[in-house]
Structure 1
Amino acid sequence: MLQRVAVVGAGAAGLCTARHILSRPGHFAPPVVFELSENVGGTWCYDERVGKLDNGLPVHSSMYRDLRTNLPKEVMMFPDFPFDPQLSSFLPHQEVQRYLERYCQSHGIEPHIRFNTVVERVKPVVVMAEGEVEERTTWEVTSSDSSGHQKTETFDSVFICSGHYSDPHFPHIPGIENFKGKVLHSHSYRFAEPFTGQSVVVLGAKASGLDISLELANVGAQVTLSHRRPRLTFPLPAGIQQSSSVEAVEDDGRIRFQDGSVTEADVLMFCTGYNFRFKFLDAAQLGLDIQDQMMSPLYRFMVPPAFPSLFFIGICKIICPFPNFNCQVQFALAVLEGSVTLPSRVQMEDEVRRELQEKLERGVQHRHLLILDQDQWEYCNTLARSAGFPLLPPVVRSLYEEVWRQRQIHPKNYRKLNYRLISDLQWELIN
């Protein structure tokens, strides 16, 4: 009997899941992919609108108009599906969107996607089939289409590929109601021109905070880049000054920083990340604790130990996304096929608890526990060895780390460089 799999989301992770399911017709029926919008691509699908759509749903994508990738295409690509070699290494978001459309077309995924379809509920149902000796879980997925027609279907497994860049995280700032200017999150930022000549306090100096600050400075905004990280040592444009983190907003509307200094500003922009939100899931029923920027326990960052036929793809942070998704999906399908046997629920929960405890003892903050960064390579290799698929070629790590170094030295110019992969071990700079 072929297994039926539901896939929530047709962004990069959902398309990767569908592609690998379709490549195993002996084990799986074609997937049913539920997609909220009318396009594939997920967060890569640029939408100039912000706030809510005509249908009342929030805008999903956080893409801004001039975003270019901060990883080269040689590292970003799915290992078995290269980008067009004519393209430069660092791409505008439109090229990534085109790449995902080509991936979808090439693997015949589109006929299996239900566009403009909202997943309302994903619910486990424990059943004991006739003649079987142990219980098994099936999944009821309730969805509604654009006309509001609702239906419920049963699946053997569900892959949650709905991303985690759509529900903006606003940290608490005492007195923020006193601020007289405009407050927004980078989720609602599209382009810099409206901020010309304004004073903007940007909270957060990770990828989007730094990127948006550079864009704002280019149009003549006065930017205060406020963060709690060590002071950035590379040269910043004249229009950007650094400061310590925001502590509060004073009664008169001025912003007070941790070092005691205060400033007036026209705009307060939060580049403070995103929350995990799965409105269609009952976290408690699944044995999961889902907080703003953390969810646990997930074995191998994917599997709730209580329900090992549910998989979350792509929730780790600071990773090479597409290669990471590719490894996670193949591991998950090996579990469903039976070639990988998971430990017992108790063993999985213990392992997750131990790993998280070790990270906390190393000084990792609770909200950063899903950041993989340097751990991502061993993580992907562990999945590959367990499930018997090819390891990521070492050149991916080598080039990723080189680009990370360049980004620290030349945050404005590192994207001008172009690279080429020569072999599984070697890359070269081509300009």
Structure 2
Amino acid sequence: MTSKSGRVAVIGLGAYGIVTVNNMLEVGFDVVAYDRNEYIGGLWTVTTDPGKTSVLPTTISNQSKQRKSFTDFPFPDDVPDFPTSAQVQKYLEDYADHFQLRPAFRLGTTVTGIDRSEKGEKWIVSIIKPDSNATEEEFDKVIITNGTFHSPVMPEVPGIENFGGEVIHSQSFKDPNDFSGKNVVVVGLSNSAADTAVELSKVAANVFLSHRSGACVLPRKNAQGKPSDHTETIAMSRLVGLLKSISLRLTKFFYTRAIEKSMHAAYPTIDPSWNLLPAPPPTHNIPIINDHLISLLADESIYSLPGIASIPSPHTLTLSDGTNLPNIDAIIFCTGYRATFSILPPSLDPTAHSTPEYDAAPFGSSVRRHARLYQGIFSPAYPDSLAFIGPYIIISAFTGADVVSQAIGQVFSGGYPLPPQTEIERSCDEHYAYCLAMAHIARAPAGLVKNGEVGQWLNEACGNGLNEMLGWGWEAWKFWWRERELYRLVVGGVNTGFLYRLFEGRRRSWDGAREAIYRANGREWGGKKGDAGDVV
């Protein structure tokens, strides 16, 4: 039976794809979701396959469960503030079961191509399963949700062909015991690099962390024992947005000072020789969240080194300061990924267009390509039927994918009209100019959007009422007057995803949102103090 809203293909069944299936079903689409793996959860499912990106069994979420949840499905009470990888994977499985999504899943199915039909009215998705012939299926809409952890980026290092030890990308790092007793260099300074170095320090003879730039490092919990990300309130986001509207450089200055102050408060004895500071501003790169890196640097279980300049002999590296590092057995590159959209023809690949100004900018990148997408989501060529979740970091990972897919559902179902094509192109041009300006200030990730402006647009598209209830108009004043405690929790408390289902609107609201917001802030509905902490 065909849905009156049409048929939607969702490509990828990691966290983004799973929640997208739910939100497409919510607005009445017939949904089919594909994943090449025989499991759901994407990188949150541990695998030993070196060609697949995944967490380790020891991985702990860098984001608190109060901030990580989907908009209508809290983590269980017995899960700690920072879930393990196994707990996140189970959460995704439980979400799929709770909303009865599995009938839409087509696991073990590889999508080999997506293109328009001959008449240009439909999308043709080419698929193949093991031991089966290739087939094609027809859809009205397509949403690509397979993230950006596609193709590992391996830097070009002069003499790398001379190295006699093991060279891998962090994608292939599955078991630190494989490097027991060895001298290992970890290249990069990111969350994955920090996690890799920390795990290696338990078994390797020596661990060297080689990096060209700095990074702010923060623990998961602050001095008061509360999750550090609970300070990222809506009120704080508004302040940062105001600063950005005044001056990007002013925002960089104040925001950087604030993060570095937090870092020094957590770790007052940071050694300048580690070259962690100065760091790229947090407007460009998120801080590293790690509870052990600083202490391991302090007791020399991990050594901080400059970047690699060349490899002159099989087990010796020459660093950028001219010193040599001998007796190295392995190099692990934690240098990120590039998003690839090879299943699309070049004319529909959002990263295939020419960006010479961005590539040539002091902190631009010709490796992590700029994706030309309306609001960081919709293909300018087919905005009413082709969308992407993953190229841009919008709001935050799980919550962001939930809200973005709600907006896509409204657009694709006709609940929210898109602007004329000229406005779509103008918006894409403005976003490119914004990314180009940021690339002249500091190293900028390709997935950069004006979260404040995009967030406002998403609220409007979803019809969730947040722009009205949390703005400066009459509805906001009524909300503040009638429910001051809830208003304070929403604006000044933990910035949870549940608020996106709090008010009535076009997308489905959730009756449990109010209670979930209270509990995320350490309160029980009715004003009783809960288990998570003090009254906000």
Under a length normalisation based on structure 2, what TM-score does the superposition of the two structures give?
0.67
Within the candidate set 312, 317, 322, 1:250 is matched to 312
In structure 2, relative to structure 1, the CA distance for the partners of 1:205 and 1:96 (3 Å cut) is same
In structure 2, relative to structure 1, the CA distance for the partners of 1:248 and 1:428 (3 Å cut) is farther
In structure 2, relative to structure 1, the CA distance for the partners of 1:364 and 1:305 (3 Å cut) is farther
Aligned equivalent of 2:424: 348
Per-residue deviation, residues 388-412 of structure 1 (Å, max 9, x unmatched): 1254954686589xxxxxxxxxxxx
Whether the aligned pair in 2 keeps the contact of 1:166 and 1:274 (CA below 8 Å) is yes
In structure 2, relative to structure 1, the CA distance for the partners of 1:276 and 1:95 (3 Å cut) is same
Whether the aligned pair in 1 keeps the contact of 2:371 and 2:391 (CA below 8 Å) is no
Per-residue deviation, residues 368-396 of structure 1 (Å, max 9, x unmatched): 13145xx5455334311233125495468
**Do residues 98 (structure 1) and 161 (structure 2) align?**
no
CA RMSD of aligned residues (A): 2.8
Question: Unpaired segments of 5 or more residues in structure 1?
Answer: 52-59, 128-135, 401-418
Whether the aligned pair in 2 keeps the contact of 1:6 and 1:157 (CA below 8 Å) is yes
Which one-letter code corresponds to 1:342 in the other structure?
A: L
Which one-letter code corresponds to 2:102 in the other structure?
A: E
Aligned equivalent of 2:184: 200
Q: Secondary structure at the match of 2:136?
A: strand
Which one-letter code corresponds to 1:337 in the other structure?
A: S
Q: How does 1:281-300 map to 2 (within 5 A)?
A: 281-285=344-348, 288-289=351-352, 292-300=367-375
Deviation of 1:101 after TM superposition, in Å, equals 0.6
Within the candidate set 1, 5, 9, 1:2 is matched to 5
Deviation of 1:168 after TM superposition, in Å, equals 1.2
**Do residues 123 (structure 1) and 186 (structure 2) align?**
no
Whether the aligned pair in 1 keeps the contact of 2:494 and 2:520 (CA below 8 Å) is no
Within the candidate set 377, 401, 410, 1:325 is matched to 401
In structure 2, relative to structure 1, the CA distance for the partners of 1:167 and 1:219 (3 Å cut) is same
Whether the aligned pair in 2 keeps the contact of 1:331 and 1:387 (CA below 8 Å) is yes
Aligned equivalent of 1:67: 59
Aligned equivalent of 2:336: 273
Within the candidate set 380, 384, 393, 2:455 is matched to 380
Within the candidate set 276, 281, 292, 1:232 is matched to 276
Which one-letter code corresponds to 1:277 in the other structure?
A: T
Per-residue deviation, residues 259-309 of structure 1 (Å, max 9, x unmatched): 222212111100011111223111235565277422421111111201211
Work out the CA distance in 1 between the residues paired with 2:318 and 2:462: 52
Q: Secondary structure at the match of 2:125?
A: strand
In structure 2, relative to structure 1, the CA distance for the partners of 1:394 and 1:3 (3 Å cut) is farther
Aligned equivalent of 1:38: 38
Aligned equivalent of 1:175: 159
Work out the CA distance in 2 between the residues paired with 1:146 and 1:252: 41
Aligned equivalent of 1:23: 26
Q: Secondary structure at the match of 1:294?
A: coil
Whether the aligned pair in 2 keeps the contact of 1:330 and 1:389 (CA below 8 Å) is no
In structure 2, relative to structure 1, the CA distance for the partners of 1:251 and 1:219 (3 Å cut) is closer
Q: Secondary structure at the match of 1:20?
A: helix
Q: Please tell me whether Structure 1 or Structure 2 has the larger radius of gyration of its CA atoms.
A: 2
Whether the aligned pair in 2 keeps the contact of 1:140 and 1:155 (CA below 8 Å) is yes
Identity level (%): 28
In structure 2, relative to structure 1, the CA distance for the partners of 1:336 and 1:398 (3 Å cut) is closer
Within the candidate set 415, 421, 446, 1:369 is matched to 446
Q: How does 1:90-169 map to 2 (within 5 A)?
A: 90-125=82-117, 127=119, 137-169=121-153
Which one-letter code corresponds to 1:260 in the other structure?
A: G
Deviates more, 1:354-363 or 1:256-265: 354-363
Work out the CA distance in 1 between the residues paired with 2:323 and 2:313: 15
Which one-letter code corresponds to 2:276 in the other structure?
A: L
In structure 2, relative to structure 1, the CA distance for the partners of 1:123 and 1:70 (3 Å cut) is same
Whether the aligned pair in 1 keeps the contact of 2:494 and 2:521 (CA below 8 Å) is no
Work out the CA distance in 1 between the residues paired with 2:422 and 2:493: 35
Deviates more, 1:377-386 or 1:172-181: 377-386
Q: How does 1:41-56 map to 2 (within 5 A)?
A: 41-51=41-51
In structure 2, relative to structure 1, the CA distance for the partners of 1:427 and 1:142 (3 Å cut) is farther
Work out the CA distance in 2 between the residues paired with 1:114 and 1:85: 31
Whether the aligned pair in 1 keeps the contact of 2:315 and 2:329 (CA below 8 Å) is no
Work out the CA distance in 2 between the residues paired with 1:340 and 1:399: 25
Which one-letter code corresponds to 1:8 in the other structure?
A: I
Per-residue deviation, residues 27-58 of structure 1 (Å, max 9, x unmatched): x2x2011121111111111112324xxxxxxx
Whether the aligned pair in 1 keeps the contact of 2:27 and 2:409 (CA below 8 Å) is no
Whether the aligned pair in 1 keeps the contact of 2:108 and 2:130 (CA below 8 Å) is yes
Per-residue deviation, residues 206-255 of structure 1 (Å, max 9, x unmatched): 10101111111122441111112222264424211112222222245521
Work out the CA distance in 2 between the residues paired with 1:427 and 1:271: 40
Work out the CA distance in 1 between the residues paired with 2:395 and 2:6: 30
Aligned equivalent of 1:412: none
Work out the CA distance in 1 between the residues paired with 2:426 and 2:315: 48
Deviates more, 1:337-346 or 1:87-96: 337-346
In structure 2, relative to structure 1, the CA distance for the partners of 1:385 and 1:2 (3 Å cut) is closer
Which one-letter code corresponds to 2:81 in the other structure?
A: S
Deviates more, 1:94-103 or 1:351-360: 351-360
Work out the CA distance in 1 between the residues paired with 2:95 and 2:213: 38
Aligned residues: 391
Which one-letter code corresponds to 1:179 in the other structure?
A: F
Under a length normalisation based on structure 1, what TM-score does the superposition of the two structures give?
0.83
Question: Unpaired segments of 5 or more residues in structure 2?
Answer: 215-274, 278-293, 354-365, 468-489, 498-518
Deviates more, 1:117-126 or 1:249-258: 249-258
Per-residue deviation, residues 104-146 of structure 1 (Å, max 9, x unmatched): 111111011111111111002374xxxxxxxx64201111122
Whether the aligned pair in 2 keeps the contact of 1:327 and 1:380 (CA below 8 Å) is no
Q: Secondary structure at the match of 2:117?
A: strand
Which one-letter code corresponds to 2:33 in the other structure?
A: V
